[in-house]
Amino acid sequence: MVLQFARGRCVVPSHSWRGPGRFDDRTDSYSPFVRTLVALAADHAPRARFATAGLEIGEAFLWTIGLLGIGAVVLLVTSISAGAASLGIALAARLVFVLILMLAALPWLRGRTGTLDPAALPQDLLP
């Protein structure tokens, strides 16, 4: 969970890292803590907003689209400079087609995005 204030933000993790692939699950104590924090923030800092932490799937998808777009341009430029323009155009066209499909699927990948109002926190957000 990320608590956003006017001048900064605070990340409150729900797991404690013990090693590669090993985490302490502290959901039992985390959920009451966050509910108390939300109630206090709603009273004392009404402009504070909560958001879910981590990389959203839509954001990761956009990064993938951007990198594939850069790859298509680099592929096209290097193939033209090597004298294989027709092969480069054919391969870049296929990459651009995949990019168009990914852009078309992007609206469905947006899950719970944006900020959460502390006064109206969804009940299904925390166990």
**DSSP percent split of the chain into helix, strand, coil, nearest 5:** 55, 15, 30
Among 26-30, 113-117, 123-127, which range has the highest average pLDDT?
Answer: 26-30
Task: Give the lowest-confidence range in 60-69, 74-83, 102-111.
Answer: 102-111
Torsion angle (degrees, nearest 10) of CA 91, 97, 99, 100: 160
Is it the case that residue 66 has pLDDT exceeding 80? Answer: yes
Cβ neighbourhood burial of 51 (10 Å; 0-12, 13-18, 19+): middle
Q: What is the pTM of this model?
A: 0.50
Measure the CA angle with vertex 83, ends 77 and 85; round to 5°. Answer: 60
**How many CA atoms lie less than 13 Å away from 79 in the CB half-sphere?**
16
Q: Give the span between the Cα atoms of 1 and 58, in whole angstroms.
A: 18
pLDDT at 122 over 70: no
For residue range 27-63, what is the model confidence (pLDDT) as tens digits?
Answer: 777 778 877 877 787 777 777 666 666 656 777 888 8
Give the model's pLDDT for residue 126.
Answer: 57
According to DSSP, the residues that pair with 25 across neighbouring strands are 15
* Structure tokens, 42: 């709603």
Domain ranges of the chain: 2-53+112-120, 57-109
113 pLDDT more than 90: no
